[in-house]
Each structure stands twice: as structure tokens, then as C-alpha cells.
Structure 1
Amino acid sequence: MPRVNLTKKYTKMYLLLFILTFAAEFAFGYYLTCIRGYVAGDAISRVANAFYISHSRHPHLAAIGFVWNPLPSLIEWVWLWFWPIFPKLASNALAAVLTTSLFAAGTVVLLLQNLIRFGLPTPLSVLFCILYALNPFLFLYGANGMTEVMFTFFLVATVTSLSRWLEDEASRHIIMLSMALALAFLVRYEAIPLAAAAGCSMLIAIFFIPSKHISRADNKASFKYLRSEGSIIVALTPFVYTCLIWIFLNYMIMGNPFFFFNSNYSNLSFSEALSGNDQFSRMIGNPVNIISYVAFKSSFFSVPLLIIVLFRLVTRKLLQWDMLIFIGILLSIPALQSVMLYKGTSYGWLRFFFYIFPIMAAWLPYEIVRLKLNAKFVLSVHLIGLVVTGALVAYAMSDPSRASEEYDTFNYGKNYNEQQIAKQIAQYINDELPDDLILLDSFTDFQVIVNTNKPSNLVITSDLDFLKILANPAEFQVSYILVPPPIEGGLINAINKQYPSLYEHGGHWVTLEKQFEDYRKLYKVIGAVDSGMQQP
């Protein structure tokens, strides 16, 4: 690999690109959340998990929850120490916007650093990174506070480390890869197929790609075995250790080592309603429909892949072991989504299929050097590819049938309306019930929680005595209960599970205080619950 010294010139360029990208992302994120008033549901959910750690009725670290990976909320928790001064850090998820803006900027710098380390032309490399950052999808997710861009940072770090190792076989790249994989798992579970693909890639490289740095005499099967053993141990041990620690914490605190996977609040439970959706029910158990769906969703991000394949065909290097490595990494995350669609546990949103785009961007410098092509020409072709990809993605995002979440961001869809009602509920609590103890399930009502002035007056799911209070609210001086309709996420709501007829029919121990459209009912507790009303 051509080695380029990181001179002060490059350091300043990295810093400038980081600052400009961060400023643009955060400005757009602030506009979305604080001016337009739209906050991505998953973004504010992660902020809420961080919020419970220090601002709930029972502050403790385990309040972060054990369903979603903890790193995003742990980082956002740092910003939330300033919540008393700037409440919008929680209510408008600005803590998440700050975090994703930093990771989006860091990803662009990683890509530029990789391009320069491989000796590619600096001006075209900078332009490549700018066009990458301005891709409508990536720019939106760098600003909306969701975890996709955070995971992308570690995904890019993984792929760049792997490609550098393939080029010069330096052990430092394996160490970087191992750290990236471990941290990726702490952001999203897609790190699991990524780690499997990275491990298989290293084995393929060691056993089938001739080493440039080991003599033929020493490159025997026994040596390859020892080399593969050591490399895989270094690459995957931090990742495996991180997974095991997460499973152990789930067991130790929640009593179920796979609480994150199969609990009432897990994605597995939440996605049960998919079987009633015509679009997704047709894919359950049907590989043909799944392949068609995954290919369609991925096609909006696939122009760089077509360009890479075209150059491989022209140079007659398509059927090479390193191309198999690239395809394996590329398909690892879509393969997971395919399995989930097959079992009916994925909503198949567009954001689950964009990861092939940053993988291709991270892999590209290796491709150019490996094929020994004219770097300026190849990069110029890929710049055109980035523009075309941006246009395709913008088209997809303008159609709710292709990109429902992204479309809702700019067209005030269902999520926006629910957020406005949640704010109305919080405002009612702040104005009319400022000192009353209110019971609610944070899984469905996190948007209410982060908008209240006194979250310490709310009995929420992470409180240590939540189940006891849920069984008999009056005994613990609970004044009100907030209940969602028993549909979609409301089916999982702990209050609905305990009192399945409460929303529709109420009870002798409560009286309806206020109804917020068809979104929530607020009941006032007027007496004790009969034992017959409780669920086992």
C-alpha cells in the first residue's frame, strides 16, 4: 500500500472537513427537531433511555434498558447532564442530534483518511467525501439522531481496516478492526453478521490469497493454520467478549440472558403484528419474494457496486478471492434482514438496506490500488456514481411506499402527529398535575416522559418498584394512570397486559380524567384494585 505521512497539512484538512460536516449536520438536525418540530421516534427513544439513568424517579445505570444496544444512550447521557439548563436536549432529542452529527463527521474523515493513505489524488478524494456526506439519505440520518450513522462509523472503520490489512498485512489493522467490531455491537445487532463476514474474510485471505510478505517456503499449510488462529483470536475476541458481557448483564439484572431478544419489549415481540400486514405476510417463508424485496430496496444504493463490478470485468479480475471477500461483507447485513423477513420479524424499512453504500465507499481505495487503474479516472467515474445515487435516493425518499420513515420526516406523518399529542399530554401534566404521582409504561410513553418538567413524579418501567406499584397503584399513592389503546405497541404495554380491559372499559377503581384523541386515556385512581382484576 502506498504510505502517506499524516503531515500537518492533512491533519488540518481532516479537522476542517470534520468541523464543516458536523456544523452542517447539527444545523439541519436542529432545524428538523426544534424548528419543524419533527423528532425520529427511535432517536428520542434512545435519548429517553439515557434520560432515565439520572432524571427518573429511581436513577440508576440499569435504567438504560436491556433491549437496545447501550452505547448510543450512554453517549447521549453525557449531554443530558445539561438538561436542566437546556430541556430540548431531551424533549427534542438534541442529545441524539449532537451524537449523530459527530459520528457523521467522523465517518467522512475516516473515508478521506483511507483514500489518502492509499495514495489517491487529494482533491478528488475530498470531493468524493463531500458528495458522500451530501447523499440525501446519509445527510438526513447524520442529523436525525438515529443510530444508523453511528453504526456506519464503526462499519467503515471495520471495512477500511480489513482492506488495509489485505494490502499490507500489518497487525495494527487487525487490532483496529477488532475494536470497531466490538463497539459496533454496542450500537446495533447488525454487527453480528458483519463480524462473521469479517472473520470469514480473514480466513479466505490467509488460506487462498498469496502473501506478499511471507516467503513461499514459509507459507505452508501449518503456518497458515497458526496465522489464521492468531489473527481470528485478535480480531474477534473483543467482539465475542462484548457479546457475552451483554448476555451476562441481561441475565444478572433482568433474569433472562436473552432478554434483549425475546422479552415482551424486544423487536421479536413488537413485530408480531407484521403477520397481519399484506406486504410482509407474503414474504414470511417465501425466499423468492424476500430476494426481490431486498434487491429492490438495495438498488437505490447500488450504483457504486455496478461501477466496481464493471471495472472488475474490464480488468478480468471479477473472479478473485478478494472480490468474494467484498461480496461477503456487502451481503452480510442484507442477509440478516432476509432471515428476519423470512421469519416475519423485520419491518423492512429502507434504512435497513443502505449499509452497502458506506461499505462500497470504504472498500473503493483498495479496489483502485488493487486493479492498478488510473486513479483520477476511476474516482471521477465514482463521483458520477455518487451523484446518480443521490438522485435515486432522493427519488425514493419522496415516495412513502418506498421510504415511509424518510417521507414522514418532511411531510408530517403519523409519527409527527403522535409527538404533538405526547407533548400535549406532558403539558397537561406540567400545568394541571405537577405534584401528582403518575403511572405509565416508558416503552410506549417515552415521548411524554422527556417533555415533563418533573420526571421524578412519574412511575416508569425502569423503576425498581414498578411491578409492585402496577399491581395496586392506590396502595402506593399513585394518582393517575396513562393508558394507550391496546393496538400495535400498546399490546406490549405493561399496563394493558396487567389490565387488558382498562383502556376500553375502565374500572371501578379508576375514573376517566381526560382523553387525548384516540392516542391515550388518563385515568384517575380512586380506589384499590380487586384481586380479580389483576393478571397473574
Structure 2
Amino acid sequence: MSRRETWTVFAASLAVYLGVGLTLSLRYGYLLGDALARTSAAQAVLFSRDPHVSAIGYIFTPLTALAQLPLVAFSSWLPAITRWNISAIAVSALFMAGATVMIYGICRDRGLTKPYSSIIAAVFALNPIIVFFGANGMSEAPFLFFACWAARRLIRWVHTDDVHDLVFAGIALALAYLTRYDAVAAIAATTFLVAGVTVMRQGRAKWRTMRRRALLDAVLLAGPGFSAFVVWTATSWLITGEALAQLSSNYGNAAILEQSGGGATGTLLGNTAFVVTAIVVLGPTLLIAGPVAAVLAHRRRDLEFLVAPVMFGSVLAFQAFSYITGSTFGFLRFYICAIPLAAIVVVQIFAPQGNPETRRTGKFHRSRSEHATAKIGVSAALVALSVVGMMVTGWAMLQPSLSAQQYALGYLFDTSPSANDADAVAARRIIDSFSTERELAAYLDSQNLPEGSVLVDTVYGFAVVAASSRPDQFIVPSDQDFTTILNDPAAAGVQYLLTVPNSGRGESDAINRRYPSIYDNGALEFSFVFEAPNDGADQPDWRLYEV
């Protein structure tokens, strides 16, 4: 694949994702909470009252927030970068464009022509849910990039036996772990796959030699990911006292599930049906292309086919198990790996042709025999199937029962929903999420308060801090003296406390834990200033108290 092809695919995809992302943010004010929380974390590293690297937090893995730092560095001159989540949008657009390049590269490595490769990459890139998550700053885009990068390198390794491909696949999986914890499943599954492929390649070799080579290949793949896990966990323990803060802390996943009333609440059969439906609507082409590609791979003795189902399938299985057992929420986005899996399976229906360039072929490298180009009718059928699959995914995104977070996109142009249309009213509240927080930030900025004047927890307050042009006016939990100031705000010169109801996720708010009745009566210590009813969905009404 030439550099010109790479940059053409990348630039075209990037333009689409940036355009959509900036339109959703600046035109419609449609921001997503997890993306904005990562932006707030990046802002805290540079511009909080107590800036330091560990302010990045240990609930989310760090890479998505760290990648925003170069852009967030300019937010002191242009506050819109954090207020409208532009830094996160830019990061997700870059990574999703990179994922598209990887899908195109898998096509070219397989020996597909430029037209076929371009069409398959375009169908992937323009899938509605891929466009949305390439444009909203969430962690799905960088995770898909690293997963697709790892898949491409592993597919190449199966063919070339080049140690460089194996090492790069391991690095990609390690970076995927630093983006989302789901990568643990992919690292484990692909490690066993690599060991198995190595064993199968060696035929009747002595058991000791076979075992040593399989172990070495497995270590090369899993080593970077294991190192990333150890370093991140140790760092979390040294700084917060909790090795797995994402699971055990007051702000972690278990606490969020408990405070929000749990994850999956239906029957085992109902939860399983949701998982199956989510995977099918995101990757409907798998129903036809999957069995066909599997049969053809078996006939060709093509081990390359195993990579994508094992890697992406392990992530899907992890998410399915988590939801069915009530350990996570029923969000359609958690099954987004079905989309690159479907794209790669379609690619592997075509017989491999030619040999991709490699740095150093290994002992078990097998030259591909040249095959006739796929018939036009077969290619057209696969393209049509992929386009239909893309349309099914687009339909699913607009169904409230399937896509609780994305269906609001269908109401972007409905500025005055009927009071009788519950879905439209709920969608408008989703679109208006964080509008109240931006107004609160504007109000506090207008007061020209000195540094450290407003005490707020970032459970919900991240959106207020991110929207402010003066983030140093807030005292937040990442400040090293937060607990001391919380115990005696007046002595520290605090003027206001920004509070939320002591219910749901508000139970983990540090101010509520220190002053349980503050939202209702100011804990009989602080004077009520005003209340700000929230226009957004699943967002609390705010009350400001004066010290």
C-alpha cells in the first residue's frame, strides 16, 4: 500500500468525522458525557488549581485523555476547545480515520484491487455508528484503531511469520488496553491463538522445541499488554491506594451500577436476546459472510481467517457476559467491534493474492499462489450486502429500545417536539445535555472569582469545569488538598459549594458524603443562593450554596 493511498484514505475519512463532530457540537450542542469527562481530566492536568499529571484520574484508562493534551494546551486562549469538547472530537476523528486506513490496508494486504479496497473501506468508514463515534470524542474510535491495527498485523504475521508483525500487534493491543479495559479479553484470546498457530505450523517437531517456540511467540504478543497492565495498576495503587480504581473506588464501575440501579435488569433470556440483537444489527453481514468465509478458509487451509473472529469475538463475548451478568449497561456502542469484524470477514471471502511487503519473513512463511481475480458478480453481491448491513445499523441507531444514547440523532431537526411524543421529548433532553452546566460555568466566570473559590465534585461537575474559561476557580477531587478544604471550606477561602441531590450517582459526590443534607438545607451551615433545574437527560438539578 503506497503512502499516497494511505494519506488519501486518511484525509477523506478525517474530513468527514471532523465535519460531523464540529457540527454536532457547535451547531447542536450535542455532547456525550464520557467524552466530556475525559476532556475535563486533560484540562485538570494543565489548568486546574493544582495541575499535575495524576489529575488524569484512574477510573478511565489514560490514553484518550492524554492524547488531548496538545490541543487542550491552547484552551487558555480558546476556551471553546474544552467547552464544546473540540479536543476530544479531534482525537476521535484522527483515530477513526486511522481505523479506516487499517481496514483499507487489510484489503490491500489480501491482494484486493484499489477499487474493491476503497469500496469496502468506504462502507466501513461511512457506517452511521462509525461516523458518530468518530465524531463525538468517545473512546470507541481509538480502541477500534488499535484493535484494527493489531488485527492487520496478526493477519500479516500468520502469512509472513515476521517477528516485526507480531511485536507491532502486541504494542497495538497494549495501547488498546490503555484506551479501554475490554482489550484484556483480546490480549488473552489472541495470545492463545498465536501459540496455537505456532504449534500447528511446526507439524511433527519435537514437543520441547514446539513448546518453546509457541511460548516465545505468545510472550512477544502478550508482553506489551501485560506490562501496560502492571504499570497502570501499580501507578494507580501508588497514587490512589487502589490498584483497580475502575472497579473498587467510589467513582468506579461497581459503584456506578449500584447507584444507577444496576445494569441489566431483565431476565437471562431477555438480556441474551438484547446482546444477540445488538451484534446482529451492527454486523448483519456476518450472518451470511461469516459461514461462507469460514468454509472457504477451511478449504484453502487459510489460518488468516481466525484472527478477526478470535480478536473481535473475544471483546464481544466479554461485553455480552458482562451485560448478561449485570456488570454493565445495555449500550449499543459496547458491541461496535461487530462492524470491523464484519468488514474483515467480507475481505476474507476473496482468495488471497500476492505477497505483501515484509521486513523479514520467518521460517514458516508461505508464499501465496496467485489466484484469479474474484468475479464481478461476487464482488457486487458482497458490496450490496455490506451496504444493506450499513443501512440496518443506521436503522438500529434510531431505535430507543436498542440505542438509548444515539436515537436522539433522529430528532436533531425537531426543535419543538410534541409534548405527547415521549421519545421526542426525551431525545431533546439528550441533545440538550450539559447546556445547564455551560450556563452555570458562564455565571461563575462572570463573577470574577479568585482562584479556589468554588468547591465541586467532578462526579457531575466535570461538565461545569470543562465549560469554564477559569478552571482554576474550582477546587476538585484531583487537588491534593481537596479533603482538607472540604472539611473546612471557610478557612480555605471557599466562597461557594456547587451541589447535587444526594441520590443515585450523587451519593458518591464527596460534598454529599461530607455534608449529607447540604443539598436539602445547606447542612445548616451554608446559605442557599439559587437552584438551576437541568435541561439535560440523566443530569441533576444544581444548587449553589454560599460559604
TM-score (norm 2): 0.87
Query: Shift of the alpha carbon at 1:299?
Result: 0.9
Give, in whole Å, the separation in 2 of the partners of 1:224 and 1:13: 40
Alignment of 1:115-134 (within 5 A): 115-134=107-126
From 168, 172, 187, give the equivalent of 1:176: 168
Aligned partner of 1:87 in structure 2 is 79
Give, in whole Å, the separation in 1 of the partners of 2:449 and 2:382: 58
Aligned partner of 2:444 in structure 1 is 429
Alignment of 1:273-284 (within 5 A): 273-275=259-261, 280-283=264-267
Aligned partner of 1:419 in structure 2 is 434
Whether the 8 Å contact between 2:499 and 2:543 is mirrored in structure 1 is yes
The amino acid of 1:281's aligned partner reads T
Deviation track 1:83-120 (CA, whole Å, cap 9, x = no partner) reads 12221110001001111111111111112122112211
User: Is 2:231 the counterpart of 1:255?
Assistant: no
Alignment of 1:472-487 (within 5 A): 472-487=488-503
Whether the 8 Å contact between 1:312 and 1:318 is mirrored in structure 2 is no
The amino acid of 1:428's aligned partner reads Y
Alignment of 1:393-472 (within 5 A): 393-411=393-411, 412-432=427-447, 434-435=449-450, 437-472=453-488
Give, in whole Å, the separation in 1 of the partners of 2:309 and 2:97: 26
- Corresponding residue SS for 1:522: strand
Aligned partner of 2:422 in structure 1 is none
Q: What 5-or-longer segments of structure 1 have no aligned partner?
A: 1-5, 526-536
Whether the 8 Å contact between 2:151 and 2:308 is mirrored in structure 1 is no
Give, in whole Å, the separation in 2 of the partners of 1:510 and 1:119: 70
Aligned partner of 2:135 in structure 1 is 143
Aligned partner of 1:114 in structure 2 is 106
Query: Shift of the alpha carbon at 1:408?
Result: 2.6
Change in 2 beyond 3 A, CA 1:379/1:51 = farther
User: Is 2:471 the counterpart of 1:489?
Assistant: no
Count of matched residue pairs: 506
The amino acid of 2:543's aligned partner reads K
- Corresponding residue SS for 2:104: helix
Deviation track 1:213-251 (CA, whole Å, cap 9, x = no partner) reads x6x56x333322111111011111111000000110011
Deviation track 1:133-163 (CA, whole Å, cap 9, x = no partner) reads 1111101111111110110001101111121
Whether the 8 Å contact between 2:259 and 2:505 is mirrored in structure 1 is no
From 510, 522, 527, give the equivalent of 1:506: 522
The amino acid of 1:180's aligned partner reads A
Query: Shift of the alpha carbon at 1:364?
Result: 4.5
Query: Shift of the alpha carbon at 1:508?
Result: 2.5
From 315, 318, 321, give the equivalent of 1:333: 315
Alignment of 1:64-463 (within 5 A): 64-208=56-200, 211=201, 219-275=205-261, 280-283=264-267, 286=268, 288-312=269-293, 315=296, 317=298, 322=303, 326-369=308-351, 375-377=374-376, 378-411=378-411, 412-432=427-447, 434-435=449-450, 437-463=453-479
Deviation track 1:382-436 (CA, whole Å, cap 9, x = no partner) reads 3222211211111111111211211134535434334111011111111235337
Change in 2 beyond 3 A, CA 1:374/1:313 = farther
Give, in whole Å, the separation in 2 of the partners of 1:165 and 1:131: 26
User: Is 2:22 the counterpart of 1:30?
Assistant: yes
Whether the 8 Å contact between 2:260 and 2:504 is mirrored in structure 1 is no
Give, in whole Å, the separation in 1 of the partners of 2:527 and 2:302: 69
- Corresponding residue SS for 2:527: strand
- Corresponding residue SS for 1:482: strand
Whether the 8 Å contact between 1:159 and 1:362 is mirrored in structure 2 is no
Deviation track 1:331-380 (CA, whole Å, cap 9, x = no partner) reads 21122223322442211200001212113324544453369685355543
The amino acid of 1:453's aligned partner reads S
Whether the 8 Å contact between 1:19 and 1:105 is mirrored in structure 2 is yes
TM-score (norm 1): 0.89
Q: What 5-or-longer segments of structure 2 have no aligned partner?
A: 354-370, 412-426, 535-540
Give, in whole Å, the separation in 1 of the partners of 2:254 and 2:7: 42
Give, in whole Å, the separation in 2 of the partners of 1:92 and 1:352: 24
- Corresponding residue SS for 1:506: helix
* Identity %, equivalent residues: 25
Whether the 8 Å contact between 1:91 and 1:451 is mirrored in structure 2 is yes
Deviation track 1:271-318 (CA, whole Å, cap 9, x = no partner) reads 1145467xx2224xx3x4432221011111222322333424764838
Give, in whole Å, the separation in 1 of the partners of 2:381 and 2:284: 11
Aligned partner of 2:544 in structure 1 is 522
- Corresponding residue SS for 2:67: helix
Query: Shift of the alpha carbon at 1:473?
Result: 0.9
Give, in whole Å, the separation in 2 of the partners of 1:430 and 1:424: 10
Change in 2 beyond 3 A, CA 1:276/1:62 = closer
Give, in whole Å, the separation in 1 of the partners of 2:432 and 2:470: 24
- Corresponding residue SS for 2:449: coil
Change in 2 beyond 3 A, CA 1:497/1:35 = same
Whether the 8 Å contact between 1:155 and 1:359 is mirrored in structure 2 is no
Change in 2 beyond 3 A, CA 1:20/1:268 = same
Change in 2 beyond 3 A, CA 1:462/1:512 = same
Whether the 8 Å contact between 2:155 and 2:307 is mirrored in structure 1 is no
